[in-house]
Amino acid sequence: MPTKAAVVLPDNVLFEGGAGEKIRKKLLETCDVHTILRLPTGIFYAQGVKANVVFFDAKPKDGKTHTKGVWFYDLRTNKHFTLKTRTLKLDDLQDFITCYHPENRHERVATERFKFFSYNELMARDKASLDIFWLKDDSLDNLDDLPPPDVLQQEIIEHLEAALAAFRDVAVGLRVH
């Protein structure tokens, strides 16, 4: 049975050039990277930081490219979660679990939120970027569909508190050096 792994990575790892691009290409070549779950902002890391779960299987070091393509699930676009008042729950992941099809991932079916990109399509992208999105963000067009003021207020408070905590961590770090 192959070794299976899932890692949580911030968005910049999926698109930055230089070392990030080299690491992405090496991972796609030497492992079978098969799924990327695009998480809502602030679920991992600090509030405002976008993250992804990258699923892959280890493969033998035989010089062959093992990733044939990657399925992307967008749990970010048009979804609103906060760390306190509207947390991500198991129910929010049920559609992803169904689409992931753990019993046999080779029988997956595309949906509005779940889409396949071949290895060649990924390599043709600038810097082999895996920062892929295809759903239209409704909040950019319709300001009437904003969350209620109390939800917006809570999100702003959480963002500001997270930013203050991050600045405090930096300040403490600067004092140590």
Is 64 inside any structural domain? Answer: yes
Give the tens place of pLDDT for each residue, 82-141.
777 778 899 999 999 999 998 888 899 999 999 999 999 999 999 888 988 899 877 665
Residue 144 lies in a domain: no
Q: Are 162 and 42 in contact (CB under 8 A)?
A: yes
CATH number for the domain that contains residue 119: 3.40.50.150
Whats the size of the chain, residue-wise? 177
Question: Is 147 a residue whose pLDDT tops 80?
Answer: no
pLDDT at 112: 95
Residue 36 structural domain: 4-136
The total number of structural domains in the chain stands at 1
Q: How far is CA 95 from CA 85, 104, 134, 146, 162, in A?
A: 22, 16, 18, 24, 29
- Contact between 27 and 33 under an 8 Å Cβ cutoff? The reply is yes
- Is 165 part of a structural domain of the chain? no
Q: What is the pLDDT of residues 46-81, one digit of tens each?
A: 666 788 999 999 998 898 999 999 999 999 988 877
pLDDT value at residue 141: 59
In a domain, 88, yes or no: yes
- Could you tell me which residues come within 8 angstroms of residue 116 by beta carbon, excluding any fewer than 6 positions away? 69, 70, 71, 72, 108, 110
Q: Is residue 160 part of a domain?
A: no
Q: Is the residue at 164 inside a domain?
A: no
Contacts of 107 (CB under 8 A, 6+ apart): 101
Amino acid at 70: V
Residue 2 has pLDDT above 70, yes or no: no
pLDDT of residue 54: 95
Q: Which of 11-15, 105-109, 145-149 is most confident?
A: 105-109
In a domain, 127, yes or no: yes
- Whether residue 91 is contained in a domain is answered as yes
